[in-house]
């Protein structure tokens, strides 16, 4: 008589135990009732059931934070430079400014053709715009060793810094006014003329016109060979405005540049003001510090020479 498959498997296991042999689980077929169909969830083993269900991984909790809030500030209703004085400060009766030597630098971008001739020049940062027309005429006559790419001369740009030595003659003042800053005086915008490095850090060069290459794409940039300079002198009108703090001793303690016909004059007149003596403002019976707007205008002349030309490796 044939036994059912389940009973036959049991008899085989009993016989193996009686003979001292351990049957391999792989050799013992499962009863038909325990076969798991493909794709179904298996039934947990007793050992697993005794430990309980396995933990399900969870994502870490989200952290909620408030976005930063930009505070909104507003200008004060009254000018913070205003001074409460009974009588304002007065300028020197006969102001004088001596001849002086000063230095300045001009940043220029010059397009040079493959033959080394100037195509166009752009004054990127000019401390003496009063001589701009003569400067442009000078650049038009400059000749260069042309820029090269892959060993061949090409149409490219030169970025140059011209270090200038300038002699400023004693100006002839036609108007010198000192106006006290009051609570109703509009707050002026300073005329900033910082260092070349600060300017270059904030400068973004325009794209080079089609057919030319900026100097940072050249193997060697154009190098000046002949540099005639006709922008060597100026004689004409000037104007400067500054906000100055006149202390009780009548000396200018602080100065804020507001306007200058030539940026070169800012440094020159700051040194000039060190030697001027004002009549200080008065509050009651005592001298008092006060902020004022100093406006200067008249005729001036100066001469400028190029002491050095430096080639920059960044586009201007």
Q: Where are the alpha helices (DSSP H) in 52-195?
A: 132-141
Average pLDDT over residues 108-127: 96
Q: Identify the CA nearest to 225 among candidates 299, 311, 165.
A: 311
* DSSP secondary structure, 123-141, as one string: EEE-S-GGGHHHHHHHHHH
Element (H, E) at 200: helix 196-202
Domain ranges of the chain: 100-312
Q: What is the pLDDT of residue 77?
A: 73
The predicted model scores a pTM of 0.72
Q: Is the pLDDT of residue 22 over 60?
A: no
Q: What percent of the chain has pLDDT over 90?
A: 69
Average pLDDT over residues 231-240: 94
Which SS3 state, helix, strand or coil, does residue 230 take?
A: coil
Q: Are 135 and 123 in contact (CB under 8 A)?
A: yes
Q: Are 125 and 312 in contact (CB under 8 A)?
A: no
Q: What is the pLDDT of residue 107?
A: 97
Q: What is the pLDDT of residue 82?
A: 87
Q: Is the pLDDT of residue 182 over 70?
A: yes
Q: What is the pLDDT of residue 302?
A: 93
Q: Are 162 and 108 in contact (CB under 8 A)?
A: yes
Average pLDDT over residues 86-110: 93
pLDDT digits (tens, 9 = 90+) for 187-219: 889 998 889 999 999 999 999 999 999 999 999
* DSSP secondary structure, 6-31, as one string: HHHHHHHHHHHHHTTPPPPGGGSPPP
pLDDT band at 268 (very low <50, low <70, confident <90, very high): very high
Q: Is the pLDDT of residue 273 over 50?
A: yes
pLDDT band at 51 (very low <50, low <70, confident <90, very high): low
**Residue by residue, what is the 3-state secondary structure of 112-181?**
ECCCCEEEEEEEEECCCHHHHHHHHHHHHHCEEECCEECCEECCEEEEEEEEEEEEECCCEEEEEEEEEC
pLDDT band at 83 (very low <50, low <70, confident <90, very high): confident
């Amino acid at each position: 008589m044939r036994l059912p498959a389940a009973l036959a498997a049991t008899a085989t296991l009993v016989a193996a135990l009686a003979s001292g042999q351990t049957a391999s689980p792989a050799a013992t077929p499962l009863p038909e009732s325990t076969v798991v169909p493909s794709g179904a969830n298996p039934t947990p083993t007793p050992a697993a059931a005794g430990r309980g269900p396995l933990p399900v991984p969870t994502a870490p909790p989200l952290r909620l934070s408030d976005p930063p809030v930009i505070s909104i500030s507003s200008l004060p209703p009254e000018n913070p430079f205003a001074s409460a004085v009974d009588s304002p400060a007065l300028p020197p009766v006969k102001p004088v400014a001596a001849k002086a030597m000063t230095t300045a630098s001009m940043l220029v971008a010059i397009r040079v053709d493959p033959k080394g001739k100037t195509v166009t020049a752009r004054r990127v940062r000019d401390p003496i715009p009063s001589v701009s027309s003569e400067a442009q005429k000078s650049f038009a006559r400059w000749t260069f060793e042309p820029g090269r790419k892959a060993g061949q001369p090409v149409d490219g740009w030169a970025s140059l810094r011209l270090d200038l030595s300038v002699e400023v003659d004693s100006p002839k003042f036609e108007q010198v006014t000192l106006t006290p800053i009051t609570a109703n005086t509009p707050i002026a915008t300073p005329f900033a003329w910082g260092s070349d490095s600060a300017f270059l850090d904030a400068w973004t060069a325009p794209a080079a016109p089609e057919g030319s290459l900026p100097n940072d794409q050249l193997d060697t940039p154009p190098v000046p060979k002949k540099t005639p300079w006709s922008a060597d002198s100026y004689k004409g009108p000037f104007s400067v405005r500054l906000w100055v703090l006149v202390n009780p001793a009548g000396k200018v303690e602080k100065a804020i540049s507001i306007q200058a016909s030539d940026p070169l004059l800012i440094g020159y007149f700051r040194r000039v003001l060190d030697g001027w003596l004002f009549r200080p403002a008065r509050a009651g019976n005592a001298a008092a510090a006060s902020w004022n707007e100093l406006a200067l205008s008249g005729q001036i002349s100066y001469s400028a020479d190029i002491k050095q030309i430096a080639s920059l490796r960044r586009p201007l």
